[in-house]
Amino acid sequence: MDKAIAITGGAAGIGRALALHFHGIGWRVAVLDSDAEALREVSQLMPKARFLGLRCDVGREAQVRRAFERIATWLGEDALTCLVNNAGIADPYCGPLEDLRLGDWQRWIDASLTAAFLCSREALPLLRRAEGASIVNVSSTRALMSEPDTYGYAAAKGGLDALTHAMAVSLGPAVRVNAVLPGWIETGPWQKAASRKEPDHSAAARRQHPAGRVGLPEDIAGAVEWLVDAGFVTGQRIVVDGGMTVKMIYTD
């Protein structure tokens, strides 16, 4: 039986790298994304027989339900091996707290945390068909540390970490649940054509990382694949940041 993976926010950035990575190792890949243009682009990179692209706002319950109905039809009697809850709003900055509107706050929460809840709930019947099924939530090192004026983003990612261990305890042993916490990941080359850009990182940016460089989406894809295969790992947060969050930085 072929392995299958569903990736939210899978048409650009880290999600696109995940889609191409798992397609490259022989998996069937379903991508959910709200950006129609990016979804069309990524669909051209994979043969239709092993790819399903679905336009979906994963923070909206009805849209998520319809998307997973489509995935169930696409899979037939086969199982969903892994769900990656990767969707979220890339820009973390919301401005001063006193100016933050409830509707804007809710956008960050829905795009990441609510979306992970909705997609996990709908994916469960398909995941439970598999042996060794797993969910991987793409959180952020901003769940552990913050820059100013990033309240909604940090809260959504911190909530996603808590949801991870709550689901791991409740859904095991049938489904393992883990989180990957990316640090500074350069996604410019992995955007849709209209937004694509080549990175130009300074020596100072590289020096912030004990690993000596800024992260790549491929680094996250490798971590997700490892978690899919790590049958005795569940409820964990795996930080993938080149050591940035453990390096002490002093100012003069």
Burial of 230 (0-12, 13-18, 19+ CB in 10 A): middle
Is there a domain that residue 251 lies in? no
Residue 252, domain member (yes or no):
no
Report the SS3 class of residue 31: strand
User: Which residue segment(s) compose the domain that 180 sits in?
Assistant: 4-246
The two counts, helices (H) then strands (E), for the chain are 8, 7
Residue 85 lies in a domain: yes
User: How many domains in the chain?
Assistant: 1
Looking at residue 3, what DSSP letter applies? Answer: -
User: In sequence order, what are the beta bridge partners of 31?
Assistant: 7, 53
User: What confidence tier does 188 reach under pLDDT thresholds 50, 70, 90?
Assistant: confident
Residue 42 belongs to some domain of the structure: yes
Does residue 118 belong to any structural domain of this protein? yes
15 occurs within a structural domain: yes
- Residue 251 pLDDT > 80: no
pLDDT of residue 175: 98
Q: How many CB atoms lie within 10 A of CB 57?
A: 17
Active-site residue set:
153
Render pLDDT for 198-227 as a digit per residue (tens, 0 to 9).
Answer: 777 777 777 788 888 988 999 999 999 999
* pLDDT(237) > 80: yes
The reply to whether 108 falls in a domain is yes
Mean pLDDT on 84-97: 94
- Is 70 a domain residue? yes
CB atoms within 10 A of CB 130: 18
CATH number of the domain enclosing 238: 3.40.50.720
Q: With bands split at pLDDT 50, 70 and 90, how would you rate the model's confidence at 178?
A: very high
Q: Which range among 11-25, 159-173, 177-191, 229-243 shows the weakest confidence by mean pLDDT? A: 177-191
